[in-house]
């Protein structure tokens, strides 16, 4: 049998697994483009979890009570855990976490645009839990069925924790909207700032998202950006009503014919600017991550020396 035939068999085997909606595992043959797409997506996801600790971490020392501090600490620690699972999932594809971290801090790999916005009040902690973790859930629940096994399995645990994150955010907002006028205004002001960036978390509109169809063909992605964005809007509007908060879109209304809410287009030029590095906090977020990585060098060195002494590989 020639090498070309072998390759064809392998390709066919891969396609059969995808067509049967089964999982590709690290030991299985996979096309190089599939592997690269997954590395990029999982790395970007892992980086988002890690960078995403910063906006809320900003408020840990200023939490208004011990209870709020304990909740926020637990939430931010969960995000670190998500980053670790995801780097481990990426490593099953033959890349190294150190290499991915280098790419993040040198700006060669991206993370979610949402974390380049500042957190200006404690209401932002609630609104991030409600809207940002809420959008993350919409994006991530379908990834539990991703064709790549290690990623799909990591997402199951992560989604359970994201659901706790969304509830803790909503619970904080419920307390605030039942508080003083000033607290209600804080929630409204924060919602006004985070609404559009949350809609942008689903990525550009489908017409401007050339990789979506290939990712869907491979069973990595299950829904388009616009489908997920619509799902998020439909889920969020009744929650805003329950809070007595107005979402900052005058054209937001129920469309009985479609069975969905109509809503306005976000400003896509803003998304492009934030992704390309010109968001309000891009430089600050990367500088902070770079500094933390440098400060942690001695821990990595010590762990490597310990492993070498005790016969481990690292």
Which residues in this chain contact Fe ion in the complex, by CB under 5 A?
A: 49, 79, 82, 133, 162, 165
Residue placing its CB nearer to Fe ion in the complex, 197 or 263: 197
- 67 forms beta bridges with none
- Chain position carrying tokens 């995808």: 18
Q: Please state, in angstroms and rounded to a whole number, the distance separating the CA atoms of residues 294 and 70.
A: 28
Min dist. Cβ of residue 188 to Fe ion (A):
23
Return the sign of the alpha-carbon dihedral for residues 97, 75, 122, 117: positive
Q: Please state, in angstroms and rounded to a whole number, the distance separating the CA atoms of residues 182 and 156.
A: 39
Residue placing its CB nearer to Fe ion in the complex, 10 or 235: 235
Residue placing its CB nearer to Fe ion in the complex, 165 or 289: 165
Residue placing its CB nearer to Fe ion in the complex, 124 or 133: 133
Return the sign of the alpha-carbon dihedral for residues 226, 228, 231, 235: negative
CA angle 46, 49, 51 (to 5 degrees): 105
Phi and psi, residue 255, nearest 5°: -115, 100
Residue placing its CB nearer to Fe ion in the complex, 49 or 249: 49
Min dist. Cβ of residue 137 to Fe ion (A):
9
Within 92-178, where are the H helices?
A: 97-105, 123-127, 133-140, 149-177
Alpha carbon distances (Å) from 232 to 33, 87, 130, 135, 227: 30, 27, 11, 6, 9
Spell out the residues 6+ positions from residue 125 whose beta carbon is closer than 8 angstroms to its own: 56, 59, 68, 72, 119, 169, 172
CB atoms within 10 A of CB 276: 11
Can you give the C-alpha Rg of the chain in angstroms? 21
Min dist. Cβ of residue 141 to Fe ion (A):
13
- Chain position carrying tokens 């991030």: 128
Residue placing its CB nearer to Fe ion in the complex, 128 or 243: 128
Min dist. Cβ of residue 236 to Fe ion (A):
16
Min dist. Cβ of residue 129 to Fe ion (A):
8
Residue placing its CB nearer to Fe ion in the complex, 82 or 289: 82
- What does DSSP assign to residue 245? -
Min dist. Cβ of residue 314 to Fe ion (A):
26
Q: Are 78 and 86 in contact (CB under 8 A)?
A: no
Residue placing its CB nearer to Fe ion in the complex, 55 or 218: 55
């Amino acid at each position: 049998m020639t090498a070309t035939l072998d390759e064809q068999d392998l390709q066919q085997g891969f396609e059969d697994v995808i067509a049967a909606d089964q999982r590709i595992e690290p030991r299985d043959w996979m096309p190089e483009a599939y592997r690269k797409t997954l590395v990029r997506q999982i790395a970007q996801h892992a980086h988002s979890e890690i960078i995403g600790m910063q906006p809320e971490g900003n408020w840990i020392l200023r939490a208004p009570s011990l209870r709020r501090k304990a909740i926020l600490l637990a939430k931010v620690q969960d995000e670190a855990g998500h980053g670790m699972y995801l780097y481990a999932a990426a490593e099953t594809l033959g890349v190294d976490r150190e290499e991915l971290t280098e790419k993040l801090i040198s700006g060669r790999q991206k993370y979610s645009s949402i974390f380049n916005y500042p957190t200006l009040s404690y209401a932002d902690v609630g609104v991030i839990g409600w809207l940002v973790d809420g959008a993350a859930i919409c994006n991530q629940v379908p990834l539990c069925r991703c064709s790549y096994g290690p990623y799909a399995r990591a997402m199951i645990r992560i989604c359970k924790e994201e659901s706790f994150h969304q509830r803790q955010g909503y619970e904080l907002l419920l307390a605030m909207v039942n508080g003083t006028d000033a607290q209600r205004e804080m929630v409204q002001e924060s919602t006004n700032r985070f609404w559009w960036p949350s809609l942008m978390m689903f990525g550009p509109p489908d017409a401007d998202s050339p990789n979506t169809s290939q990712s869907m063909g491979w069973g990595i992605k299950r829904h388009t950006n616009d489908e997920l964005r619509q799902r998020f809007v439909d889920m969020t509007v009744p929650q805003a009503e329950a809070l007595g908060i107005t979402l900052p879109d005058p054209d937001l209304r129920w469309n009985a014919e479609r069975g969905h809410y109509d809503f306005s287009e976000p400003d896509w030029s803003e998304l492009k600017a934030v992704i390309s590095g010109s968001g309000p906090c891009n430089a600050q977020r990367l500088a902070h991550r770079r500094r933390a990585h440098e400060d942690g060098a001695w821990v990595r060195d010590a762990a490597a020396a310990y492993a070498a002494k005790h016969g481990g590989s690292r």
